[in-house]
Structure 1
Amino acid sequence: MELNNLTAISPVDGRYRKQVAFLDEYFSEFALIKYRVIVEVEYFLFLADKKFFKLPAKARQRFKLVAENFSLDDAQQIKQIESVTNHDVKAVEYFLKEQLDKAGAPELKEWIHFGLTSQDINNTSIPLSWKHCMEHEYLPAIINMQNNLAILAAQWKDVSMLARTHGQPASPTKLGKEIMVFTERLDNQVQLFSYIPYAAKFGGATGNFNAHHITFPKKNWVTLGNEFVEGVLGLQRMQFTTQIEHYDNLAAHFDNIKRINNILIDLCRDMWTYISMDYFKQQVKKGEVGSSAMPHKVNPIDFENAEGNLGIANALLEHLSAKLPVSRLQRDLTDSTVLRNLGVPVSHTLIAIKSIEKGLGKLLLNEAKLKEDLENNWAVVAEAIQTILRRENYPNPYEALKELTRGKNQINKQSIHAFISSLKISGELKKELKAITPHNYTGIAAEY
């Protein structure tokens, strides 16, 4: 069958294609070829700028356009060359030599890919495409979600809610503050992510600039390599490498994304539970079906879909972060096929983020249910009463409240107030204790 959304094996290129189609600019075979072309062209122009050869201005401009205007037809031409060379980077080199002919500088063709091994191109083009995707797509998506959660937190700032530790009624909280928990966690992880460099390898066949140095021994190739990778490409060149980059920083990115995904899984499960507790209703869309058998159902499918996709993403990220930093001696080829899958966990992660945002957009606060739960759980003010009694040096207050409340079914306002009335304390203190309710015993939190 012809490949399309219905025949694709992977749901990323099938069912979910329209949600993540923009990622083909970073992770497709076309994207990999395009970024290789970009690096090769930039390196050629860098050598010209460093006076290794004289490049006429007109030829320079025409050759620079090869990268800027790189098209699907160009990529097809490179794949055709690869069918003969059986080497993907060499095919890019031959393609660019042809383009240099057309640019009017055939005598300079051997300066293309000068002194390099294929990994000098792969280990700069892949981190460059990864960097662009993180900065233009992934991080904005996470920050946007963080901002959306902050908006909801502000909206629900004054909504009292029964907390549940170990699944049991616990000291009340504010719904807004519980949402801020996730906002803060995401912010912390985005900050950590921003500290991790986008590392690259650029140093010849085994990382020592052997070919470069033997040809131009008076040139400081370490300095030139640093200047090209960091000054031109905007990456950080690792100083001591084998044929390939260490991938340690890339693995750190993967692990960071895994942590963020775990936070999102936690969010999904909490929102799913709040919906099951009827704290939230969900907006319905005309024509949609919740269950094929039960017409009344409105299922929290967006949070479930997100949780599933985040799990797939994390499984792949775990393999990537564990495998890529391990390579036999100066290089084996196992990283090559693995690196081609970078876009898959990113796709599943962004699919999940879109699902979470959709789910959050459907939520309708059922404040009456939150108030009902608080009213049905007066036992949670026992902590407040016994702590104030401790302040007053009342004998064994914890034990007294434990006897009153632990495991009891009929703890309500009346029983709590009757207990307070029975205490041998001042009337003023009794008034203070009776002013405490499950609705107002919510503590304080930092301003947001």
Structure 2
Amino acid sequence: MPSLADLTPPIALGALDGRYRKAVAPLVDHLSEPALNRTRLHVEIEWLIHLTSHGVVPGAGTLSAAEVESLRGLVGEFDQSAIDELAAIEAETVHDVKAIEYFLKRRLGDRLEGREDLAELVHFACTSEDINNLSYALMVQGAVRSVWLPCATELVEQVSGMARELADIPLLAHTHGQPATPTTMGKELAVLAFRLGRQLRHIAGAEYLGKLNGATGTFGAHLAAVPGADWQQISHDFVTGLGLTWNPLTTQIESHDWQAEVYADIARFNRVLHNLCTDIWSYISMGYFAQVRGQGTVGSSTMPHKVNPIRFENAEANLEVSNALLDVLASTLVTSRLQRDLTDSSMQRNIGPALGHSLLALDNVSRGLAGLDAAPAAMAADLDTNWEVLAEPIQSAMRALAAAGHPGMDNPYERLKELTRGRRIGQAELVEFVRGLGLPADVEERLAAMTPTTYVGIAPDLVAHLPN
């Protein structure tokens, strides 16, 4: 039997690079190993440009606009041949960042003819982590802002749209799995959309930090080489020029606290989305939503009638995997022994799968919601068989009257408990009970006319709290 590991093209080991590749492919441009090397090349080039443009190193020449453009073109031209060449260099150096340095130095002769004097300004005064921390910050920033956040925002808008459409559709609530005070489907979806939107605002406002200060964060090599330069200002301007926030106090590594914050926020969004999945799954089970679109799919291999809520179940599983990875990233990246250890290097290579499983869940939830139609008749039927939920407004009205000194309103809770607990009652029994309480005429008529369908308070109006 041939080994599957020997087949070409290589077979993906993980689901994200195999079965679900299409849904997560946009993240490859940001969080794959080639994306990391391309971003490292970008940082190295920008550092060289920064050093020469600001006359940091006395005697070093400056670059012309054409030379700057030519250097930056290396990033845009980064392709399979560059990937292969870097792999060959790294096989010799056994060091990924050093491979980038040598790769760029090889290109200087082509891009900057006659400027071999600048070769040693490539990676000048840098430790590997100076390049890596900036690269990861740019990569995660791009992945979150350009890929994950737009998809998450679109999903929240989709849920918000459903909430507005279903704002007036009465729904029997279930607290502890038991029939409870009615609400509307729109209001319940609005709760979830509001929660998700709040987390998105946290994520959209995230800070992405970076540092460039040498082997132990002291600018030691910088000052030894060029003691007259204001290296803190140079570092600040370079980091902020990349679109990041400058971190002035680090060990060899940037502390990764910002990463822990971003991953915790995305994990919290995932958990709220998981709650949406379980709620929608339950509503489908109750018949409150019909999965009417996409009927060509096979729900069960043996039961032809079934249309399984697979999108929401798939999303649940992927959200759980995503959170497991996000949680371990957030908890481990904030710790580094003394001035440096390499645990973060291996850990950060799991950022792509962490966001990938979340992105896959977003795709599944969106497709699942798009295949649903609300079933108001099923919701109304459940309401009509649970008239006992009106015990709450009746006893509440009696309490208010008792407080105002109206006679005969004693023990309202206990009297409604005796009427309703442990048994079903219908409209006739409830109206008879209300008529026998001796209520003021206006209150009696109001309560006698109330139905489970109309007892939704201001639920439809609450949907308006969703941002437009």
Question: Is this a same-fold pair by TM over 0.5?
Answer: yes
Partner of 1:349: 358
- Deviation of 1:415 after TM superposition, in Å, equals 0.9
- Deviation of 1:59 after TM superposition, in Å, equals 2.7
Unaligned runs of 5+ in 1: none
Whole-Å separation in 2 of the counterparts to 1:287 and 1:302: 15
Among 319, 325, 349, the alignment partner of 2:328 is 319
Q: 2:145–2:204: 8 Å Cα contact kept in structure 1?
A: no
Deviates more, 1:301-310 or 1:388-397: 388-397
Report whether the alignment pairs 1:334 with 2:343: yes
Partner of 1:267: 276
**Could you list the runs of 4 or more consecutive aligned residues of structure 1 that deviate by over 4 angstroms after TM superposition?**
none
Q: Which AA in structure 1 matches 2:103?
A: F
Report whether the alignment pairs 1:15 with 2:19: yes
Whole-Å separation in 1 of the counterparts to 2:295 and 2:154: 28
Whole-Å separation in 2 of the counterparts to 1:388 and 1:175: 26
TM-score, with normalisation over the residues of structure 1?
0.97
Partner of 1:149: 159
- Deviation of 1:139 after TM superposition, in Å, equals 0.9
Whole-Å separation in 2 of the counterparts to 1:405 and 1:59: 84
Among 421, 435, 447, the alignment partner of 2:449 is 435
Q: Which AA in structure 1 matches 2:433?
A: F
Q: Provide, for residues 46-81 of structure 1, a one-character-per-residue CA deviation record: whole Å limited to 9, x for no partner.
A: 111111332342433322211232222112211111
Among 400, 420, 423, the alignment partner of 1:408 is 423
Among 130, 133, 145, the alignment partner of 1:123 is 133
Q: Provide, for residues 88-127 of structure 1, a one-character-per-residue CA deviation record: whole Å limited to 9, x for no partner.
A: 1111111111111112121110011100010000000011
Q: Which AA in structure 1 matches 2:27?
A: L
Whole-Å separation in 2 of the counterparts to 1:4 and 1:368: 53
Q: Which AA in structure 1 matches 2:116?
A: P
Partner of 1:31: 35
Q: CA RMSD in A?
A: 1.3
Whole-Å separation in 2 of the counterparts to 1:126 and 1:132: 10
The 1:131/1:3 distance shift into structure 2, 3 A limit, reads farther
Whole-Å separation in 1 of the counterparts to 2:167 and 2:294: 28
Among 84, 88, 94, the alignment partner of 1:80 is 88
SS in 2 for 1:331: coil
Deviates more, 1:390-399 or 1:361-370: 390-399
The 1:392/1:56 distance shift into structure 2, 3 A limit, reads closer
Whole-Å separation in 2 of the counterparts to 1:120 and 1:386: 68
Q: 1:30–1:72: 8 Å Cα contact kept in structure 2?
A: no
After the TM superposition, which residues 109-188 of structure 1 pair with which residues of structure 2 at under 5 Å, given as runs?
Answer: 109-188=119-198
The 1:380/1:3 distance shift into structure 2, 3 A limit, reads farther
Unaligned runs of 5+ in 2: 1-5, 403-408
Q: Provide, for residues 218-269 of structure 1, a one-character-per-residue CA deviation record: whole Å limited to 9, x for no partner.
A: 2111111111001x21111211111111111101111111100000110000
Among 76, 79, 92, the alignment partner of 2:100 is 92
Deviates more, 1:117-126 or 1:15-24: 15-24
Q: Which AA in structure 2 matches 1:339?
A: Q
Q: Which AA in structure 1 matches 2:230?
A: N
SS in 1 for 2:367: helix
Q: 1:115–1:204: 8 Å Cα contact kept in structure 2?
A: yes
- Deviation of 1:289 after TM superposition, in Å, equals 1.1
Q: Provide, for residues 119-168 of structure 1, a one-character-per-residue CA deviation record: whole Å limited to 9, x for no partner.
A: 00000001101001111011111111110011101110110100000010
Report whether the alignment pairs 1:395 with 2:407: no
Partner of 2:301: 292
Partner of 2:432: 418
Q: 1:163–1:170: 8 Å Cα contact kept in structure 2?
A: yes
Q: 2:90–2:99: 8 Å Cα contact kept in structure 1?
A: yes
Deviates more, 1:73-82 or 1:187-196: 187-196
Q: Which AA in structure 1 matches 2:20?
A: Y
Q: 2:127–2:215: 8 Å Cα contact kept in structure 1?
A: yes
Whole-Å separation in 2 of the counterparts to 1:306 and 1:4: 29
Among 3, 7, 28, the alignment partner of 1:2 is 7
Among 35, 42, 62, the alignment partner of 2:70 is 62
Q: Which AA in structure 2 matches 1:429?
A: V
Report whether the alignment pairs 1:228 with 2:235: no
SS in 2 for 1:187: helix
Among 363, 375, 380, the alignment partner of 1:366 is 375
TM-score, with normalisation over the residues of structure 2?
0.93
- Deviation of 1:382 after TM superposition, in Å, equals 0.9
Q: Which AA in structure 1 matches 2:72?
A: K
Whole-Å separation in 2 of the counterparts to 1:190 and 1:406: 43
Q: 2:294–2:371: 8 Å Cα contact kept in structure 1?
A: no
Q: 2:293–2:372: 8 Å Cα contact kept in structure 1?
A: no
Whole-Å separation in 2 of the counterparts to 1:78 and 1:273: 51
Q: 1:284–1:298: 8 Å Cα contact kept in structure 2?
A: no
SS in 2 for 1:205: coil
Q: Which AA in structure 1 matches 2:261?
A: A
Q: 2:149–2:204: 8 Å Cα contact kept in structure 1?
A: no
SS in 2 for 1:70: coil
Q: 1:300–1:359: 8 Å Cα contact kept in structure 2?
A: yes
Q: 2:26–2:147: 8 Å Cα contact kept in structure 1?
A: no
- Deviation of 1:36 after TM superposition, in Å, equals 0.1
The 1:4/1:369 distance shift into structure 2, 3 A limit, reads farther
